[in-house]
Structure 1
């Protein structure tokens, strides 16, 4: 019997095996993502850096050359002020390389040396930004960032982009090397809070910042954390596939719902108490769209059980359907808009919410929507609101209405007396 001749392997199979072996590993702790095309297309200005790249996604040799010089100036100042050696800091960053790479959802095409250099220079640059925002004495006359208003605004825009992040633990590790007297005994989360609170509205309940143990992953995660509402007071999660649609502001106003504002709570914490809809103050300005878009992208890409920011935008989009809805909330001092017209604000919320999805079974505002819809369906609420608006909304209308009622009663009495006298 002739020996079996081994069949030559299919070259395509060999090619596929090689590709499988070259695939990058996927890690469960990745949390820094590139923006999906469905969000990026036509909206690049909200996701791409203007003046500075932070991290590997926008790292290119020769990109933002002027800013690279500023980064090295900040590096020199940071090391000199804290009496740290470059070798010491670089050696520390090298020990974090493997873990830091796992934070990025996309493979990083940088050598070990390039990655370590990038991580060290960018991390110290960011730390100097935070320190100089808090301690003005660190800003000298030659500072080309804090010395130029337009520049620091552009830099702020760039450090809150979801693609422009470095792991928070890297910042924390290098910040731990700073002498306590040089950082005013402030924790890094406290220093970060000071920096972002210039441009983001965190609410009074967030004055006491949490410790790092809550798991801050990067700046976008940090900002999102400060917008989250408190845990729900009741069960708001049901296994259904559709989210209830809240009434518009105009519909609620027609039903007699009162709108109240507060600055002493979390932005997303909206409550309906008796007939008062309490909504935290919302300031809309040039930063709002970039801020919310990047928080939304992080929520959409990451494995969050409840996508609070996404649900807030959905809820507000349903409430603010026309400029009249915005007018009402503006009159009640709930919304402060710096966009010019209220039509622009409606369009902004509609743009931000495009392509955003969330699990209807974990809808945070479900109970609130149910209560609002139920209130609007009661006819008496609308009749009472119309009566008050049409006849009792001013002292003159109130007086004339009372006079008319008295006249009607007197006329009725006179008629009855005339009938009885016959």
Structure 2
């Protein structure tokens, strides 16, 4: 299985599937379908006769049940797109066989170094095989490692029918990296009761909790005036916006928070003298924390605007996603079965919270409870991204054990 998961991974990462947040279509880039078509062909070759690509680029397939037990239908899901944060064009994967330890200098850009001091997980990889890029692109382990693992597990289950399991659904989505991964998923067609995303990181970490997330926009209308005659009259909207950003609490930013701490993060400021717009995101593990942060932002806005009596503002909050733990806690068997599968591959499960979101966040609130499983990838969204082949293999083994656990614990 090890060679198979590596072969698949290397085949998938060279396909450019970067999503585009500026696009209004879904998929946001047609090139995501290039990978989708390859996956459908491979699934059909495995004998999964219903495998297909829909108009939105989502891939669906079914591994039929081979047991008489009443096993809930479960789905395994990963996303095909890579992040807009760094280029995914012309990926050149590098394989370091029998990793000896130490920093890894990437050959395409020697200024890019995967340092053990910044990536202590490398200390657990001595003797393993590490896949990196050449330093000029991201790798795409987020989430092509997950795709390769699901595909490899599917091939293994089809080839070994003596492994009893219920009906298994496979779902590969588009545009997860820009927050739209679940937008066009047809849950009725999918027909699953529970699901698992393969979109995590360190082996052993199983994730049933994400941030809750909102977006905030502040539109400012200032007072425009010829700068030569502006004294006492001009109210520069861009300066007002900069003043608001400068007032945001420094101890409530992504760069100063960790663990269960939420944050306020300005992501864009646009405009000029007459009008300006600030776009922010707020994150917290509880909804009350979001509300407090948004109240704090608006209090800052009001305080700043008091110094500009001729100007006005519009403050808007948009819902993005919610902490999936609110849903998953109502179905404890999902995490219990996953924890048992992790133990069966010889790893102690660690329940972990995601300082971000996954397709599982949205799917859970759409009616498909969906925690997250590790893929073995690290340093996502950057040219320093890397993954261990042996860790990918452990993810494959986890999927196989998980379907066995669900079958064993089902009513006969």
**Greater relative contact order (CA < 8 Å, ≥ 6 in sequence):** 2
Mark yes or no: TM-score above 0.5. no
Higher helix share: 1
TM superposition score category, shorter chain reference = under 0.3
